[in-house]
Chains A and B, each alone.
Chain A
């Protein structure tokens, strides 16, 4: 089956700096890559996603990039704020894979 790896497991940045979280996947059949944010004690919530026919997608301060050749995708957060502090999960999936496969998560801490 698919294997999604996520790095780093923890990330600390100063408020206003950028944060980048990277994921790799193994199955070339994967064509859908969502990102989830989970605040402490809350549910994972979808914040942005990208499909394999697109190389980059932006939504205000967050952006995702996808490199199909290298089988990796990344989440970029610019101008970080303390409220960005959370665990972020990447995932990969596709119609032939049967389900989404999640990475292990990245604990992002933004220091004021």
Chain B
């Protein structure tokens, strides 16, 4: 298995632009998580899905952030409009069970908003 695949690896965008991050979980994994990592806040859980259904989005910072999972093999995290404070590394992770096995993380997307 190729693991959790994220794209793009790096994204530089101007403030106000729309940004879309993509994730392909490991086949057979029913849970998908989006995390944001910064020096100040560490690893923050933004949202997670089970069987393509959003379960907990309480970590989504504001309405500018949205996430979808149209099928079991694809998810997107969208920021519209982007702001400089959104600059961070965004990780996608997947798991085949909830809370009783570890997550497998993707390589992350480093987002820079200028």
Residues of A whose CB lies within 8 Å of any CB of B are: 31-32, 34, 36, 42-46, 49, 89, 93-100, 102, 104-105
- Are A43 and B43 interface neighbours, CB within 8 A? no
> How many residue pairs, one in A and one in B, have C-beta atoms under 8 Å apart?
51
Q: 17 A-B contacts, Cβ less than 8 Å apart?
A: A31-B100, A32-B100, A43-B91, A43-B105, A44-B43, A44-B105, A46-B102, A93-B98, A93-B99, A94-B99, A95-B98, A95-B99, A95-B100, A98-B98, A98-B99, A102-B42, A102-B45
Does any Cβ of A come within 8 Å of B25's Cβ? no
**Interface of chain A, main secondary structure:** loop
Which residues of B68-114 are within 8 A (CB) of A? 91, 97-108
- Which chain B residue lies CB-closest to A101? B45
| Count of residues in B whose CB is under 8 Å from the partner chain | 20
Question: In angstroms, how far is the closest chain A Cβ from the Cβ of B20?
Answer: 20
Q: CA separation between A94 and B100, bound complex, in Å? A: 5
